[in-house]
């Protein structure tokens, strides 16, 4: 009840509060809508800016593409046809070295030949050439061969003046010379240029199929081949002329003074020179001519003239005169050639330098040894006194076969005894001896040789002493003693000894001319003594017809 009373008492306050709340809500809504509008405006402005940036980027990219298309040939299979002079200038500005090759290609097109660009590795150059051919109205068949259509203007007449300005003077002269030939060339005979494949030209309905052949893209032209042949021929003639000039010194007659000096030489001097030249080494021309390598060519020539007149086969009767004359001519020709003489001089100079170096090294080593004995040491003495180890070499037994294994004969299996004596291997200890064994054997051999030499020297000394003493004794004996005591003793020993009892002479000796007959002794004279031993009785019964210890059977 109290609450109802309160509500009834304050109706104005409730209405005022409701109005205030509604106004606040309106304000809030207005603020929200204004904020939303501002945010939407901001978003729309950002989108517009981004779209503008995108448009600018796309415009810039399009401009760049257009610039690239203008600078480089388009990849479109059907580009717009430009003027051939501008395309030619673009090609020659980028590739100035291809002017002569491009001239040859255009000449081939004008002569009715086909051109294949597949052999060119530079892709940008191929694109530019295609663009040039299209601007010159050159047709391309299905296989990619470019051919000039019949009854069309030659390409060199269109761009020949522009091409002339880029050619070198030599190529320009060739271009002028080939101009008249290109005008007379026939278009009907077409030749296709291809690296590996034979390509057919475009088929013409009106004309018959033409004759075609293959020509390599790197094949030189006929003019170039002819020029190369002339160049080689000119080089050969120049070389022959130079050789003739060089040989003038060799063939020229000797001076009269040298001729007189050579004719004054006797036969012994001629024979001596022939034997010296024939015995000299052929690869040493200075030794053949007997001159120093530092001598001038004029003096060498004079020496050659003199020797050639001395050893000439017509003027020298030595059997080796012709051989010596040939060796002398060959040596002088080697010295006449500057290249050969330079090589020979370098070898001699190197040899002399090596000998000089060895001599200096020997002196330095001797000085180092002297300092070592004096107890003085300097830097580098150890290196000088160090023993240089020689390179290892194979022993003789490693490279030689034993006598029974002679080279050249295949090994055979022996089935019988050899008629000739087989040679032995000899001393084979070198195959099994170690280095220490070889050193010991070397020492023993040295000692044996030393002892042998010493013994021989001692014997020689004793013999010399004995011979001197013996000569003195012989002189004394010859003068004082006719026969020595030793000789007397030897002579006495050679005499026969005397018997103690000499046989007495018989009675009839000296009284009767012969010995008288005696019955007892003369009846048994000449009879054999018969041995009656029973053991040896069978010896006298072994005749052919007597029985004996052996059983004999007769037929």
Do 154 and 206 have their domain in common?
A: yes
Return the number of other C-beta atoms located less than 10 Å from residue 249's C-beta: 13
Is 310 part of any domain?
yes
| pLDDT confidence of residue 74 | 45
Do 262 and 206 have their domain in common?
A: no
Do 208 and 285 have their domain in common?
A: no
Residues 273 and 310: beta-carbon distance below 8 Å: yes
Torsions phi, psi of 116, nearest 5? -110, 125
pLDDT tens for 44-54 read 777 788 888 87
State which residues form the domain around 103.
84-219
| pLDDT confidence of residue 217 | 52
Is 16 part of any domain?
no
Is 407 part of any domain?
no
Mean pLDDT across 393-397: 79
Residue 263 vs residues 251, 260, 306, 312, 316: alpha-carbon distances, Å: 19, 5, 9, 11, 11
How sure is the predictor about 463, in pLDDT bands with cuts at 50, 70 and 90?
confident
For 144-158, 172-186, 187-201, 426-440, which range has the lowest pLDDT when averaged over its residues?
A: 187-201
At residue 58, does pLDDT exceed 70? Answer: yes
Q: What is the CATH number of the domain that holds 266?
A: 1.10.287.110
| Runs of H (alpha helix) within 185-320 | 222-251, 256-263, 267-279, 285-289, 297-311
Residues 133, 151: Cα–Cα separation, whole Å: 16
Q: Which DSSP letter does residue 215 get?
A: E
Q: Which of 281, 316, 336 is the last residue of a domain?
A: 336
Tally of domains within the chain: 2
For 31-40, 240-249, 291-300, 513-522, which range has the lowest pLDDT when averaged over its residues?
A: 240-249
Can you say whether residue 380 is alpha, beta or left, with left for phi > 0 and alpha for psi between -120 and 50 degrees? left
| pLDDT confidence of residue 69 | 62
Is 57 part of any domain?
no
Mean pLDDT across 221-234: 70
How sure is the predictor about 76, in pLDDT bands with cuts at 50, 70 and 90?
very low
Do 91 and 215 have their domain in common?
A: yes
Do 193 and 109 have their domain in common?
A: yes
Do 201 and 261 have their domain in common?
A: no
Residue 510 vs residues 54, 502, 504, 518: alpha-carbon distances, Å: 186, 18, 13, 18
Do 106 and 150 have their domain in common?
A: yes
Do 205 and 275 have their domain in common?
A: no
| pLDDT confidence of residue 297 | 84
At residue 198, does pLDDT exceed 50? Answer: no
At residue 388, does pLDDT exceed 80? Answer: no
Residues 358, 197: Cα–Cα separation, whole Å: 70
Is 105 part of any domain?
yes
Residue with tokens 């479109």: 76
Which helix (H) or strand (E) segment holds residue 161: the answer is helix 155-166
Q: Please, what is the end-to-end C-alpha distance for the chain in angstroms?
A: 204
Is 426 part of any domain?
no
Contact partners, residue 149, CB within 8 Å, separation at least 6: 137, 138, 139
Residues 357, 359: Cα–Cα separation, whole Å: 5
Q: Which of 336, 353, 374 is the last residue of a domain?
A: 336
Residues 87 and 135: beta-carbon distance below 8 Å: yes
Do 198 and 281 have their domain in common?
A: no
For 23-37, 202-216, 381-395, 422-436, which range has the lowest pLDDT when averaged over its residues?
A: 202-216
Is 473 part of any domain?
no
Instruction: Say whether 193 sits in a helix, a strand or coil.
Output: strand
Return the number of other C-beta atoms located less than 10 Å from residue 99's C-beta: 20
Residues 113, 146: Cα–Cα separation, whole Å: 9
**Long-range Cβ contacts of 85-91 (<8 Å, 24+ apart):** 85/159, 85/162, 87/128, 87/131, 87/132, 87/135, 88/132, 88/159, 88/162, 88/163, 89/162, 90/128, 91/125, 91/128, 91/129, 91/132
Do 211 and 262 have their domain in common?
A: no
Residue 118 vs residues 130, 291, 500: alpha-carbon distances, Å: 11, 67, 144
Q: Which of 315, 336, 357 is the last residue of a domain?
A: 336
For 51-65, 108-122, 151-165, 418-432, which range has the lowest pLDDT when averaged over its residues?
A: 418-432
Do 116 and 202 have their domain in common?
A: yes
Do 177 and 259 have their domain in common?
A: no
How sure is the predictor about 110, in pLDDT bands with cuts at 50, 70 and 90?
confident
Is 119 part of any domain?
yes
């Amino acid at each position: 009840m109290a609450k109802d009373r309160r509500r009834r008492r304050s109706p104005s306050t409730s209405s005022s509060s409701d109005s205030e709340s509604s106004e606040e809500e309106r304000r809030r809504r207005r603020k929200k809508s204004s904020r939303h509008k501002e945010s939407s405006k901001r978003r729309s402005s950002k989108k517009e800016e981004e779209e503008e940036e995108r448009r600018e980027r796309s415009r810039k990219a399009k401009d760049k593409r257009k610039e690239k298309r203008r600078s480089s040939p388009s990849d479109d299979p059907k580009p717009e046809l430009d003027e051939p002079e501008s395309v030619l200038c673009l090609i020659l500005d980028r590739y100035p070295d291809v002017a002569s090759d491009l001239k040859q290609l255009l000449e081939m097109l004008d002569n009715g030949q086909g051109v294949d660009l597949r052999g060119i590795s530079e892709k940008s150059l191929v694109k530019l050439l295609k663009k040039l051919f299209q601007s010159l109205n050159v047709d391309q068949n299905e296989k990619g061969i470019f051919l000039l259509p019949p009854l069309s203007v030659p390409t060199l007449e269109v761009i020949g003046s522009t091409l002339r300005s880029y050619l070198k003077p030599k190529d320009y002269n060739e271009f002028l010379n080939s101009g008249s030939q290109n005008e007379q060339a026939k278009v009907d005979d077409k030749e296709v240029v291809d690296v590996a494949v034979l390509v057919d030209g475009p088929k013409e309905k009106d004309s018959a199929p033409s004759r075609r052949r293959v020509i390599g893209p790197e094949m030189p032209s006929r003019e170039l081949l002819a020029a190369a042949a002339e160049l080689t021929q000119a080089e050969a003639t120049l070389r022959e002329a130079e050789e003739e000039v060089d040989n003038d010194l060799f063939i020229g007659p000797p001076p009269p003074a040298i001729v007189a000096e050579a004719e004054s030489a006797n036969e012994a001097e001629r024979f001596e020179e022939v034997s010296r030249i024939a015995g000299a080494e052929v690869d040493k021309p200075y030794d053949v001519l007997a001159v120093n390598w530092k001598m001038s060519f004029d003096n060498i020539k004079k020496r050659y003239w003199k020797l050639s007149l001395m050893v000439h086969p017509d003027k020298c009767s030595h059997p080796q005169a012709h051989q010596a004359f040939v060796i002398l001519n060959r040596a002088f020709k080697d010295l006449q050639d500057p290249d050969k003489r330079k090589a020979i001089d370098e070898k001699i100079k190197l040899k002399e330098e090596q000998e000089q170096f060895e001599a200096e090294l020997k002196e330095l080593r001797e000085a180092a040894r002297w300092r070592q004995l004096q107890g003085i040491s300097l830097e580098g003495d150890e290196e000088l006194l160090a023993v240089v180890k020689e390179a290892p070499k194979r022993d003789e037994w490693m490279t030689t076969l034993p006598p029974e294994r002679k080279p050249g004969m295949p090994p055979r299996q022996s089935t019988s005894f050899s008629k000739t004596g087989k040679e032995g291997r000899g001393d084979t200890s070198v195959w099994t001896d170690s280095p220490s064994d070889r050193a010991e054997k070397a020492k023993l051999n040295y000692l044996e040789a030393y002892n042998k030499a010493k013994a021989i020297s001692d014997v020689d000394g004793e013999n010399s002493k004995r011979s001197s003493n013996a000569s003195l004794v012989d002189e004394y004996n010859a003068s004082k003693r006719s026969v020595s005591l030793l000789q007397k003793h030897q002579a006495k020993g050679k005499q026969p000894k005397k018997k103690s009892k000499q046989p007495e002479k018989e009675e009839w000796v000296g009284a009767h001319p012969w010995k008288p007959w005696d019955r007892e002794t003369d009846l048994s004279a000449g009879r054999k003594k018969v041995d009656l031993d029973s053991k040896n009785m069978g010896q006298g019964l072994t005749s052919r017809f007597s029985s004996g210890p052996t059983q004999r059977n007769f037929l």
